Amino acid sequence: MQTQPEFLKLRQHLEQYIVGQTRLIDRLLIAVLTGGHILLESAPGLAKTTAIKALAGGVHAGFQRIQFTPDLMPSDITGSDVFDPRTGDFRFVPGPLFHEIILADEINRAPPKVQSALLEAMEEHQITISGRSHPLPDLFIVMATQNPLEQAGTYPLPEAQLDRFLLHVTIDYPSAEEELQILDRDRNLHFGGDQNSIDTRLSPETVLLSRREVAEIHIQDSLKQYVVAIVNATRSPEKLNPDWQNLIAYGASPRATLALVRAASAHAYLQGREYVIPDDILEVAADVLRHRVICSYAAKAQQIGANEIISNILAALPIP
């Protein structure tokens, strides 16, 4: 694992900007290591955008922030064919999606036609305009944020698009001690202090090499069966407990099985191991499944959410 020290250095770089929130930092690194997209959800002011911008600053790659608004059009992010009067032909002008790291800020504020424009890009790493496909960079990652508090003027992401995200991470408020550190760092910055910059930013080649190393992390057959059992339990939870019948309208798709193995492998990589252990799977399971488990009306009536259902499933299944 020759690139693992480079990612530990990147983690230290992120910790200079983000106080606490070690789970958030790890999830961002897992997204980079797997090439998976990540959705960050929290109340305003909890450093979602700051974390993503700090990550982009530690990777030598093209970065673009897209502010999603109700008046955004699909061509505003994908690009479009523009008529060139000099040649009499149409030429393609790439949109902001043709960067390697994309910050889709407040993604749920854009209408469905804009959200759907991301589907092909997130899954197939290409964009089709006027019948022609244009490939996106190999490093392409979408890191999206959304605010769960404001519902007016927002458009909930459809299940098909949520399933494209490798992880859905919810962020909590910092502790009192962490908030004091945030205050001290902010005052330091305003009175002449500065954050230490990363010595050497990761190149795209290093990131792609690390992804190959993560893909080679060993996971034994019993853990593969454990992952399949977890995902299957989201489809038929009543097999574990009859009281859970009718709590889930739709369970996780096979894409969740792939995502869980990839995220667990990346977590093992960050811990310096060349093999996956059950703790790796348990650590990332909730973030992989949270947005893929659709609760039924019966569950909502009982105020039972996806987090509680996932926790119960993980507790009920025997760990290999």
Q: Residues 121, 79, 44, 174: is their CA dihedral positive or negative?
A: positive
Q: pLDDT, tens digit, for every residue of 60-72?
A: 888 999 999 999 9
3-state helix, strand, coil in the chain (%, to 5): 50, 20, 35
Q: Tell me, what CATH number does 100's domain have?
A: 3.40.50.300
Q: pLDDT, tens digit, for every residue of 227-264?
A: 999 999 999 999 999 988 889 999 999 999 999 999 99
> By percentage, how much of the chain surpasses pLDDT 70?
95
Mean pLDDT of 145-166: 84
Q: pLDDT, tens digit, for every residue of 279-294?
A: 999 999 999 999 999 9
Q: Tell me, what CATH number does 246's domain have?
A: 1.10.8.80
What values do phi and psi take at 26, rounded to 5?
-60, -40
Residue 150 in any domain: the answer is: yes
Per DSSP, the three-state class of 202 is strand
160 and 267 together in one domain: no
Residue 197 in any domain: the answer is: no
User: Which secondary structure element, helix H or strand E, spans residue 146, and what is its range?
Assistant: strand 141-146
The residue range of the domain holding 252 is 218-316
> Long-range contacts: 236-243, Cβ < 8 Å, 24+?
237/309, 237/312, 237/313, 240/313, 240/316, 240/317, 241/312, 241/316
- Whether the pLDDT of residue 52 is over 90: the answer is no
Q: pLDDT, tens digit, for every residue of 104-129?
A: 999 999 998 888 888 889 989 999 88
User: Which secondary structure element, helix H or strand E, spans residue 195, and what is its range?
Assistant: none
Residue 74 in any domain: the answer is: yes
pLDDT for res 198: 58
Domain boundary among 152, 170, 190: 190
Domain count, the chain: 2
pLDDT for res 285: 96
165 and 276 together in one domain: no
**If you average pLDDT over every residue of the chain, what do you get?**
89
Matching residue, tokens 């939870």: 237
77 and 124 together in one domain: yes
Selection from 198, 169, 177, 183 nearest residue 20 by Cα: 177
